[in-house]
Amino acid sequence: NRPEQTGVFKTNTVLAYDDNLQLVAWGYPALAQEPPKKKKLQTKPRKPVELFKLHLANVKDDDKPPLPPGLDPRKAITDYLHEMNKLVAETLNSRWPGIRYPQQVRFVLSVPSEWHHDAKAIMRECMFNAGYLENRQSENLEFTTEPEAAAVYCMKSLTEHHLSAGSSFMIVDCGGGTVDLTTRTLLPGMKLSEITERSGDLCGSSYVDREFLRFLGRKLGYAAMKKLKENHYGQMQYLVQQFCSRVKFSFNGNPNEFSTKELDIERVCPALMEYVTGHAKEQMEEADWLIELDFLNVKEMFDPVVNKIIDLITKQLASTERRCSAMFLVGGFSESQYLQQQIRRQFMNQVPIIAVPKHPIAAIERGALEYGLNMEIVQTRVLKFCYGVEVSAKWEKGDPPERRTPSGRIFKFHRLALRGVEVAVDQKFYYTAGPVVPNQTDMTFNIFITPDNNAKYCDEDGMKMLGKMKIDLPDPQRGKNRLVEFTLTFGTMEVKATAINKRTGQIYESSFILEF
């Protein structure tokens, strides 16, 4: 349950700090502030910090929420996790007295599918700093992606709709900020495989709220809305919540069932009145500071967001030749009747079953728990990147002259596992290498990932180093006849690099977060 709320499945990702960056509230209490009815009760407005995990995502700076000066996103994430940790510990101790916390608890962290390995590494560090782990490399922390967790949760719905092994189904996770999609196949024994690369975009329900604020900007002036956001953010969020509860949640796209709604600015957001000027102020005074929202106004707030989701689904369906037997809509936004209606209208002839499971807003959390209890449930995943190593090859005619080294060699990217390939858990990819020069005493494997399966060099755009591994090459008198077998093993959510000196048998290992 949320702080100061009961019977609610999710906690708002919001923090509130004072001027000294001391945390004063988190979750729902940090979000919206109802305007005080008496002046003597007025307090200094505090600006909530929300959606701060977007700072770990690979998105444009304009899509990242502003942070107070001096506040690092890692601190915000750690502060939030720390408050959540206190609630988790309290709940577990009341349900299971005597439990050793956190030693006897496995934590499963669901993350957006588009997050890179460095973002997951930051989350592990924040979990450690927030008190969940005894050490940074603790095996008590597991990662899963949000669409994968949602797919695990929806497996119960597969039997309800009489889907059998071999059937493919799509998960459309419509959250507040992002929408993520994944297509899976049901295997015998109620196991899952992934058959397409996950996709997603920033088109969750909060973008309908943004369209509402843009509507107010056109009506009252963008400068007025900017000042409201800067000086009375809590009141602005209260205004948004009034829009959500009175308009957004009940909108179903049927004009015959819609009645024009009024928002009383003087009552729900009086601070805005002092920033409205000129002709807009005259009009609002004539209207007694009432703003009307008719059917077309609201539909125009939904349509840009809904159309973006429909485009994502269209592309996901086109990415596989297999027939999609079912589509499950999860996440808070999936409860929108208008979104459901538009998706069914668009895809009813392509996908026989389009359904919303029970408690869709909690699908990811419950699916992550089920995954943590049975991690063998996911049998295969599709690689989101191409994996390989940098190799020193003999420069050949036709190779770029500027890349030729003084010793007549060239550094190239050697592909081991291709993007888009479906890999089983613990599947291995091999590469055998030897020393470049006879008296070489060590060898370094630089491991790279790239979204481009046709990449040739490790300095191309999009190329990222995942890590490096240095191994010893004893007995230089044996010259180049000292082979090393390099292996990438794809586990549940990490990739393990192993190098074995074929002559001595010495084994070197290192693990990295896996990009699924």
Bigger pLDDT: 327 vs 491: 327
Q: pLDDT tens-digit profile of 162-174?
A: 888 999 999 999 9
Question: Residue 325's closest CA among 151, 182, 158, 150?
Answer: 158
Question: Residue 198's closest CA among 112, 322, 118?
Answer: 112
Report percent pLDDT > 90 for the chain.
51
Q: So what's the pLDDT on residue 57?
A: 80
Answer for the pair 347, 326: CB distance below 8 angstroms, yes or no: no
On the question of pLDDT at 336 being above 60, the answer is yes
Question: Residue 426's closest CA among 377, 485, 493, 372?
Answer: 493
On the question of pLDDT at 218 being above 80, the answer is yes
- Tell me how many helices (H) and strands (E) the chain has: 11, 23
What are residue 64's DSSP bridge partners? none
Rounded Cα gap, residues 417 and 438, in angstroms = 30
Rounded Cα gap, residues 180 and 391, in angstroms = 36
What are residue 107's DSSP bridge partners? 141
Model pTM?
0.73
Domain range 154-359, its CATH number among 3.30.420.40, 3.90.1150.10, 3.90.230.10, 1.10.150.170: 3.30.420.40
Query: To the nearest whole number, what is the mean pLDDT of the chain?
Result: 88
Rounded Cα gap, residues 147 and 181, in angstroms = 6
Question: Residue 210's closest CA among 336, 271, 300?
Answer: 300
Mean local confidence (pLDDT), 117-137: 90
Q: So what's the pLDDT on residue 345?
A: 97
Q: Which CATH architecture has domain 384-513?
A: Sandwich (2.60)
Q: So what's the pLDDT on residue 7?
A: 47
On the question of pLDDT at 1 being above 60, the answer is no
Q: So what's the pLDDT on residue 255?
A: 96
- Which two structure tokens, joined as six digits, stand for 465? 């180093």
Q: So what's the pLDDT on residue 40?
A: 46
Could you tell me how far CA 303 lies from the centroid of its own chain?
23
Domain with CATH 3.30.420.40 in the chain: 154-359
Domain with CATH 2.60.34.10 in the chain: 384-513
- Rg of the chain on CA atoms, in Å: 27
On the question of pLDDT at 328 being above 50, the answer is yes
Q: How many CB atoms lie within 10 A of CB 117?
A: 19
DSSP classification of residue 375 = G
Q: pLDDT tens-digit profile of 445-487?
A: 899 999 999 999 999 999 999 888 888 887 777 778 788 888 8
Answer for the pair 190, 314: CB distance below 8 angstroms, yes or no: no
Question: Residue 108's closest CA among 145, 61, 153, 141?
Answer: 141
Bigger pLDDT: 39 vs 367: 367
